Amino acid sequence: MSLIQELGAQLRATSDELPTGQVSVAMERLRSATELLMWVRETSVDPIGVPQLGNATEHAERAAAALRLAQDAIAAYLAAIGLSGDASAPPSGDWRAALERTGEQRPTQGAEAVAPERLGPWWQARVAQLTGEPPPDSDKAAGQGDGADTAELLRRVASGVRAGDRARVGRDLHSVNASIGLALSAVTPPVLHRLAGDLLGHEPRPEDVPRLRAAAAGRVRSMLPGTGPAVLETLIDRICRVPAQGADRPAAHPADNAVTASVLTGVLLARLGRDASSLDPAAPEPLRRPAEAAEPR
């Protein structure tokens, strides 16, 4: 290996090791927490941390942008020194970081054992309203599931969407506690961005909004008859990096964003012909479909 090739290999390794995925996930979790607190503020005059979370989110966004610029600069430098075959950036690994260790770790033995969270009626009522499926009768089935974390919940919901089984989707959403369900808002953005890119054949852009809407709107509406169109529009805008619409759209209930994002994940998987098991962070990197083969059906 020549000195130039060795330099290129070291630069590529440095680029691959930059924590873009972790920073992106942290940014989405901060954004999700901000949205939840803003919803709580509807009944409170206390800002309760929203400004601080807003500042933290802004810092995370700047960090993510700086990391992506660094990766682009490394790729450009590799191309400039004649290593163009190594210059292209690797597929985004943000979705893997989002799906790793998302569940809460609760002590289960000894004096420090914590009782599982019991769902409040707001979560039960909201899931039932969105899916049209009533909550289970038993407490064991309603919010006292088998310990699944948010990543596993996403896979289950996506699998139910792929099967076209709305009742199954409702049962899976009812079976977890509220914190696990709401965390879908933080887990899904990197996953959705990657799936949309694979469907489109390129990184999602603002002009791709109509194509994604056409590919997803009908199926999302059939699985979630109680969700409003503005929720899906907001999710698609975020996937395509469209600037925030501000006051043009009312703030959605946090559960609406979480549930709709998980269903949209299943819809995009179905469009790509992939199983929910491909959302395992240990799964092989899926191949990106050619753009001409990714037209919405």
Q: What is 22-82 written as a DSSP string? A: HHHHHHHHHHHHHHHHHHHGGG-SS-TTHHHHHHHHHHHHHHHHHHHHHHHHHHHHHHHTT
Confidence bin at 160 (pLDDT 50/70/90)? very high
Q: Which two tokens stand for residue 196?
A: 């949309």
Is 190's pLDDT higher than 90? Answer: no
**Residue bearing the bigger pLDDT, 61 or 271:** 271
Q: Which two tokens stand for residue 62?
A: 């700047």
Asked whether 78 and 84 are in contact (CB, 8 A), the reply is yes
Asked whether 198 and 286 are in contact (CB, 8 A), the reply is yes
3-state secondary structure of 15: helix
Residue 279 and residue 162: Cα distance in Å, rounded?
13
Confidence bin at 32 (pLDDT 50/70/90)? low
3-state secondary structure of 265: helix
**Residue bearing the bigger pLDDT, 156 or 32:** 156
Q: Which two tokens stand for residue 205?
A: 């852009």
Asked whether 215 and 195 are in contact (CB, 8 A), the reply is no
Q: Which two tokens stand for residue 261?
A: 């994002």
> How many CB atoms are closer than 10 A to CB 95?
23
User: Which residues are within 8 A (CB) of 101 and not within 5 positions of it... i.e. 6 or more apart?
Assistant: 149
Spatial CA neighbour of 223 closest among 278, 268, 183, 182: 268
Q: Is 0.75 surpassed by the pTM of this model?
A: no
In tens, the pLDDT along 247-269 reads 566 667 888 989 999 999 999 99
